[in-house]
């Protein structure tokens, strides 16, 4: 379990790069989503071919995975868009609510029951993120987008925990990337018509865009997303989503270093970061003590 938790934290750190890369890449949100998911799907297909593994699953499963991929597409699209219209820091603020969404949606979908300690810890994380980023709450539209992005993320994480019991993580990722790519194709005309300055799509890339896009697709998506799906075999969706709350901390630190954003590492930053770390670290302790209590009572 220690190895799994360390891998999860490494994956979350990689995801912390996503907000930075989405700002460095000059493509609009819809076009960025299209290229990311297309390159990711092609890369997985090549990897599976080299490994001589099959991507073939039954039609019903394909429909479920592609539909879940649409959720992934909604999540990334809103996440990228929030970063474009506000800051990288704001785009990750809403992600702090993922654990809250997860603590309520898992029971609603029949994957557990509401646990008071999980809800309280999730709320504590939101307080930590608010302390870090409260000076950026002037970007209300970007914040709303990131909140909606968090809802979609929590939902597909719960669904993937169910899918991974029967299917290869790379197969899951492949079909979900296809679904997300389909979502981007649907989004692009709408985005271009209502939000592009000239009403057109902007698919042309510079070499620098291609470089950052390659890192975003291969490292932050193919590797990190597939490994995260695989970890749901042994780590609960709530634990996954609670740990993902460290992503905003990593993103904000990287935004300060790479993008020179105005968010400063003041007292609020350290207090908020401490609250998040304590929330993430205390959950396994609470879970272990509850397990011991349950065993002693049985």
Distance, in Å, from the CA atom of 100 to the CA atom of 69, rounded to the nearest integer, reads: 22
The pLDDT tens digits of the residues spanning 19-38 come to 788 888 888 878 888 999 99
* pLDDT value, residue 266: 66
* pLDDT value, residue 125: 76
* pLDDT value, residue 66: 93
Which residues have a Cβ under 8 Å from the Cβ of 238 and sit 6 or more positions away?
Answer: 99, 102, 103, 106, 112, 118
Distance, in Å, from the CA atom of 247 to the CA atom of 249, rounded to the nearest integer, reads: 5
Nearest to 239 by CA among 143, 91, 117: 117
* pLDDT value, residue 88: 65
* pLDDT value, residue 89: 65
Distance, in Å, from the CA atom of 78 to the CA atom of 188, rounded to the nearest integer, reads: 13
The pLDDT tens digits of the residues spanning 93-129 come to 677 677 778 777 877 777 667 778 777 877 887 787 7
pLDDT top residue among 273 and 217: 217
- Interval 164-181 mean pLDDT: 89
Q: How far is CA 296 from the centre of its chain?
A: 37
């Amino acid at each position: 379990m220690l190895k799994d938790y360390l891998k999860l934290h490494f994956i979350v750190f990689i995801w912390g790069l996503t907000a930075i890369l989405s700002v460095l890449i000059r493509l609009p949100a819809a076009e960025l989503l299209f290229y990311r998911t297309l390159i990711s799907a092609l890369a997985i297909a090549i990897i599976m071919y080299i490994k001589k593994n099959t991507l073939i699953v039954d039609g019903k499963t394909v429909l479920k995975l592609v539909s879940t991929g649409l959720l992934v597409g909604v999540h990334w699209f809103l996440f990228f868009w929030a970063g474009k219209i506000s800051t990288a820091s704001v785009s990750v603020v809403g992600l702090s609510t993922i654990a809250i969404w997860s603590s309520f949606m898992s029971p609603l979908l029949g994957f557990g029951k509401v646990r008071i300690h999980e809800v309280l810890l999730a709320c504590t994380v939101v307080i930590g993120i608010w302390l870090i980023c409260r000076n950026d709450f002037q970007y209300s539209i970007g914040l709303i987008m990131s909140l909606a992005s968090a809802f979609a993320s929590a939902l597909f994480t719960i669904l993937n925990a169910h899918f991974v019991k029967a299917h290869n993580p790379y197969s899951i990722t492949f079909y979900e990337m296809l679904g997300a790519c389909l979502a981007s194709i649907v989004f692009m005309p709408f985005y271009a018509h209502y939000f592009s300055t000239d009403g057109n799509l902007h698919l042309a890339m510079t070499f620098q865009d291609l470089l950052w896009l390659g890192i975003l697709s291969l490292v932050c998506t193919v590797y990190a997303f597939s490994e995260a799906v695989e970890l749901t075999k042994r780590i609960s969706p709530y634990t996954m989503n609670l740990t993902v709350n460290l992503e905003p901390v990593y993103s904000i630190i990287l935004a300060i270093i790479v993008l020179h954003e105005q968010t400063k590492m003041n007292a609020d930053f350290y207090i908020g970061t401490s609250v998040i770390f304590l929330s993430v670290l205390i959950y396994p302790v609470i879970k272990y003590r509850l397990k011991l209590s349950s065993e002693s009572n049985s």
